[in-house]
A = this chain, B = another copy of it.
């Protein structure tokens, strides 16, 4: 059994919840779940025990109702039992057409953290999954600075994710072990401050930023070229979507966060920094959750010949991450059981766009996959 608390009951979290219950009900196979049911902990063992949000229209409602905003179909009745609680917002919804309310409206951040920890001690999660709106953030790097910001109630310096991760550490320390899966771009597994804190607090951190969409595919296509020693001249990658997450990314503040997460996938895989333009490109409402991606790669082959590849696609954004979460919560529980506190590169390298710890590199995902299986105690698939 894995007990899960969700932070951010949006598109991804709702598809995660409904998909999980539909699998339990027998509606679906394990498609989109990389390890399917190979792990000793079964998909059916996962149980959502709590959920947090700061959207005024969601707090207090059962998942059953929220999920219907994102998925049309026969929603399992089991989702009637979990209700959305109030989290901390700290500018999370700034500039979005959503009214935010948060614990910090009525109390200090320290008190809010204490409030969360005490709720969690009641809900008893093994794993906390962090999937709120993309944030504008600055990493801490230094644990003392983080402690200071919390102590001083520095609401301009801290983001919600940083506060949730801090609270998770407090909780893990008190209960002897827990995992925090950071599926969003805010640096947590890549922030030495948090990794240090995790080690001290019996916390496992997986992060950062779930590896879905064009980036991991690009990594594998680039590895394909590198292994033939084809010299990449340039890479352009666009993507546009119509869900709230794409809307959030149109906000310049949030884009500032890219200074810290700027993808090094190109250099990590190729061994040189081929000129590239890789950015979320825009918001187009009718596309909904099914984004449109386009990628162009030009490279030099033998005898100076120049080849070109174009990849386009329509990809459902939220199910891609939701499927990974089904593994991540189970692997989180395994890591806690093994007491591998801090962060686990073998897991991050396959599941995360920006695998922690800070100094770690990107691998071709196809290789990372085999290493991750090994870590998880499974037989390699192709090796």
Contact = CB atoms under 8 A, between A and B. Distances in A.
A109 interface: no
Contact of A365 (B217, B224, B292, B298): B224
B322 A29 contact: no
A298 B304 CA distance: 22
B281 A301 contact: no
A370 interface: yes
Interface of A: 15, 18-19, 22, 28-36, 71, 216-217, 220-221, 223-224, 226-231, 233-234, 236, 238, 240, 242, 275-277, 279, 281-287, 290, 292, 294, 296, 298, 300-316, 319-320, 322-324, 326, 363-367, 369-370, 381-383
Given A224-B217, A283-B277, A308-B314, A303 B366 contact: no
A71 B304 CA distance: 11
Given A29-B231, A231-B31, A19 B307 contact: no
B220 A32 contact: no
A305 B319 contact: yes
Contact of A229 (B31, B224, B285, B294): B31
Nearest to A22: B303
Contact of A302 (B19, B224, B226, B370): B19
Given A229-B32, A303-B18, A308-B313, A223 B366 contact: yes
A326 B229 CA distance: 12
A32 B366 contact: no
A103 to B, nearest CB: 31
B307 A315 contact: yes
A169 B88 CA distance: 63
A316 B301 contact: yes
How often does this chain occur in the complex, in copies?
4
Given A236-B284, A238-B281, A364-B366, A303 B322 contact: yes
B367 A32 contact: no
Contacts of A304: 28, 31
28 contacts: A22-B303, A29-B231, A32-B302, A33-B229, A34-B227, A220-B220, A227-B381, A228-B320, A229-B323, A234-B287, A238-B240, A238-B281, A238-B294, A277-B283, A286-B298, A287-B298, A296-B312, A301-B316, A302-B322, A302-B323, A305-B319, A307-B313, A307-B315, A307-B316, A308-B314, A309-B313, A309-B315, A310-B312
Contacts of A216: 224
A275 B282 contact: no
Contacts of A221: 217, 220-221
B367 A302 contact: no
Contacts of A309: 217, 311-313, 315
A194 to B, nearest CB: 27
Contacts of A290: 307
A153 B229 CA distance: 44
Contacts of A275: 284-286
B310 A310 contact: yes
Contact of A32 (B29, B217, B224, B305): B305
A224 B366 CA distance: 6
